Amino acid sequence: MIDARKLVIAIDGPAGAGKSTIASRLARKLGYVNLESGAMYRALALKAIMNDVSFDESAPLLKLAENSKIELQPRIDGNRVLLDTEDVSRRIRERDVTEGASRVSLHPAVREWMVARQRELGVNGGVIMEGRDIGTVVFPNAELKIFLDADPKVRAERRIEQVQAKNPDAAKALAEELKRRDQRDSTRVASPLAPAADAVVLDSSKLSVEEVLTRIEELILERTAAAKRS
Ligand code: DC
């Protein structure tokens, strides 16, 4: 029997679909921990910038990862991220790191290292992990897999609002960056962004946060009841 408080919930999807907001709200409601796997790729990209290591070379990046301590501390409004004990939560959201995270995540060896760390974080269940490959690779046996999608235009608008890009040029640049990153994340050879075969695809373009949460809670109840019956 599955303990309702011990499920592993995977939330995957492109940037700006609302994964972090949904994961942290859901975690608060359920008493789960929310873990942003993307923050780990971001922390490695920051470390590469700090050490002048290229985003495009797998072996030095892997070495850098192996010599790093990347910690995620779940908080009500997202994850606090520590890189070698330094709080880098804000710095990793900046544009250079965002671009770098998408590039370091292309390397299979880097991904393997990340996936191993991410699995360790989920061993006890009670976890909502969000990212790009959580349902497909990190937790293929997750009890619930959500693929949260949204129209690219809507996602760009949300990002623009989030970073409070005020002038049209900045907003346009942001929309283009998002598009480029989506393209890279979903066409890479290693674990490209894609819904798992057994994921529930939710399009949040026209749904409020509350509506998405309600739908996911219904799914959790269904899954828990089904597990009790079997
Ligand atoms: O979710 P995010 O925007 O913080 O992720 C940053 C980058 O990290 C994203 O462009 C692709 C990569 N990523 C990944 O490849 N796999 C994950 N599970 C999470 C993120």
Q: Which is it for strands 86-87 and 200-203: parallel, antiparallel or unpaired?
A: unpaired
- Residue 77, sorted as left (phi over 0), alpha (psi -120 to 50) or beta, turns out to be alpha
The ligand 1 atom nearest the CA atom of 15: 3
Task: Decide if 182 contacts 98 (C-beta within 8 A).
Answer: no
How far apart CA 154 and CA 135 sit, in angstroms, is 24
**Tens digits of residue pLDDT in 159-175:** 888 777 678 888 888 88
Q: Which ligand 1 atom is nearest residue 39's CA?
A: 4
Show the ligand 1 pocket: residues with CB < 6 angstroms: 15, 37-39, 41-42, 101-102, 105, 131-134, 181, 185
Determine the atom of ligand 1 nearest the C-alpha atom of 134: 18
In this structure, the residue with its CA closest to atom 20 of ligand 1 is 38
Domains of the chain, by residue range, sit at 8-211
Across 220-226, average pLDDT: 84
* Span 81-118, pLDDT tens digits: 999 999 999 999 999 999 999 999 999 999 999 999 99
Average pLDDT taken over every residue of the chain: 92
Q: How remote is the CA of residue 132 from the centroid of ligand 1, in Å?
A: 6
Distances (CA, A) of 134 to 86, 88, 94, 189: 26, 23, 24, 16
Are the CB atoms for 124 and 184 separated by under 8 Å?
A: no
Give me ligand 1 centre to Cα 226, in Å: 32
* Nearest atom, ligand 1, residue 98 CA: 6
pTM of the predicted structure, to 2 decimals: 0.94
CATH number of 8-211: 3.40.50.300
Distance in Å, CA 98 to ligand 1 centroid: 9
**pLDDT score of 225 more than 90:** no
